[in-house]
Homo-oligomer: A and B are copies of this chain.
Amino acid sequence: MAMKKFINDPANLTVELMEGMALAFGGRIRLDSGKLVFRAQPKPRDKVALVTLGGAGHEPALSGFVGRGMLDASVVGEIFAAPAAPKVFQALKAVEREAGTLLVVLNHSGDVMSSNIALEMARKQGLHVRSILTHEDIAPGAGAPASERRGLVGCVPLYKVAGAAAEEGFDIDRVCAVAERFNRNMATLAVALRTATHPSTGQAIFELAEDEMEIGMGQHGEAGTGSMKLLTADETARAMLDRLLEAVQAKAGDKLLVVLNGAGATTLMELFIVYRAVHRILTERGIEPVSPLIGEYLTVQEMAGFQMCVARMDDELVRLWQAPCDTPYLKVC
């Protein structure tokens, strides 16, 4: 079955893509055992380490954010599938330090289970590891229990603020406090226009009619809260932002970070048009936008759509958000 993608053997996707990435960023990242990504120049051991894990197929996430000011290590699974627990443990072991390690887990059951097993192994070996679960998807309702809400692109700014805190020398309690505060104050919604091809199976990962869109999509083709007629960019922005602002209880005078994360085929042109609407609505409501992030950070192959993530920011979070970082796919100079 010929798939319209630039690939070789669908069975080797993750291995080959990780090799390519490691070759491209040879001086900056180091690939271990094929699927563990570390900084080429490790962070001093007196600073807290940040580790994450997740499936492949979402490039540049997650490994594209390994580097100064963000992650120390990323553990890669298979396409859209969590990495195995022993590998997560291996990464935790590799960055082991007195200062402690924070493992950032996105709420998807495979990731959570692998992490739990790895954390248990780590604790048995006396490693100083803490963990945080992102679950900022509000598709099932902002009030739904955390366990029912997926972790979406919000992990990326969370790596950024927690990574900056770690880089500044915050101890593990303070790094965790920053991460938890950011985590509590963020919310994400995804919207899809067109499906993507699962690069291992060649199948479309979901279906949508030609005149429909779906708000609340997951990032592996899991459906959202039902399809609806296509809206304009302005209408889409308002529909999503209204729910997000309510979820984080943003009010006049608040500072708000907005991330518009392209799913794959949606152009930056469109994201700019959507951002224009977002910025206007925020200004209308007296909410101050903090330098936003607009681009492709956590993709779903060539799905058309985007995730809108907002986070209510305090001054410390703003400072950490704007602090320098230098990773292959997110840099602040």
Contacts and interface: CB of A to CB of B under 8 A. Distances in A.
Interface stretch (A4-12, A34-42, A176-184, A244-252): A4-12
A302 B266 contact: yes
Contacts of A275: 20-21, 23-24
Interface of A: 2, 4-8, 13, 16-21, 23-25, 27, 56-57, 59-60, 64, 193-194, 199, 210-211, 230, 232-234, 236, 264-277, 279, 289, 291-292, 294-296, 299, 301-302, 304, 306, 324, 326, 329, 331-333
27 contacts: A5-B193, A5-B270, A5-B304, A6-B232, A7-B232, A7-B270, A8-B234, A13-B273, A17-B272, A17-B273, A19-B276, A20-B274, A20-B276, A21-B275, A23-B275, A24-B275, A24-B291, A59-B267, A59-B268, A60-B268, A264-B267, A265-B302, A266-B302, A267-B301, A302-B304, A324-B333, A331-B333
Nearest to A306: B6
In the complex, the 5 A-B pairs of residues with the closest C-beta atoms, listed nearest first: A20-B272, A20-B276, A59-B268, A6-B270, A265-B302
A330 B162 CA distance: 24
A306 B20 CA distance: 16
A110 to B, nearest CB: 19
Contacts of A64: 268
A8 B232 contact: yes
Contact of A273 (B7, B269, B331): B7
A5 B268 CA distance: 11
Contacts of A7: 232-233, 270, 273
B59 A272 contact: yes
B292 A24 contact: yes
A230 B304 contact: no
A267 B299 contact: yes
A20 B273 CA distance: 5
A9 to B, nearest CB: 8
Given A24-B279, A276-B23, A302-B304, A210 B4 contact: yes
Contacts of A294: 24
A301 B211 CA distance: 19
A98 to B, nearest CB: 29
Contacts of A236: 6
A230 B202 CA distance: 15
A36 to B, nearest CB: 16
Contact of A8 (B273, B299, B306): B273
Contacts of A268: 59-60, 64, 296, 299
Contacts of A269: 13, 17, 56-57, 59, 199, 301
Contacts of A194: 4
A233 B4 CA distance: 11
Instruction: Name, among A16, A64, A296, the residue most crowded by chain B CB atoms within 10 Å (CB to CB).
Output: A16
Contacts of A21: 272, 275
A270 B333 CA distance: 28
A60 B301 CA distance: 19
A27 B291 contact: yes
Nearest to A61: B268
Contacts of A331: 331-333
